[in-house]
Amino acid sequence: MKSVFALIFVLFIAGCASYDGRGLKPGISTTDDVIQLMGQPAMRWQEPGGGELLAYPRGPAGFNTFMVMIDSKGIMSSLNGVLDMKHFALIRQGMTKDDVLRILGPSQPQWTVYFERRDELVWEWRYCDDWNEPARFNVLFENSTGLVRSTQSYTEGMLRRFREVCSR
- Please give the C-alpha separations between residue 39 and each of 13, 17, 60, 138, in angstroms, as whole numbers: 16, 12, 17, 27
Sheet containing strand 147-155, strands side by side: 113-115, 120-128, 134-142, 147-155
Tens-place pLDDT, residues 86-124: 999 999 999 999 999 999 999 999 999 999 999 999 999
Numbered ranges of CATH 3.30.1450.10 in the chain? 23-81, 85-168
Global pTM exceeds 0.85 = no
What does CATH list as the number for 23-81?
A: 3.30.1450.10
Q: Is the peptide bond before 60 cis (omega within 30 degrees of 0)?
A: yes
Strand, coil or helix: 48: coil
Fold of 85-168: Beta-lactamase Inhibitory Protein; Chain:B, domain 1 (3.30.1450)
Average pLDDT, the chain: 88
pLDDT given at position 19? 81
Residue segments in the chain with a per-residue pLDDT below the cut of 50: 4, 6-7, 9-17
Whether the CB-CB separation of 75 and 34 falls below 8 Å is answered with no
Whether the CB-CB separation of 140 and 134 falls below 8 Å is answered with no
The residue type of 14 is A
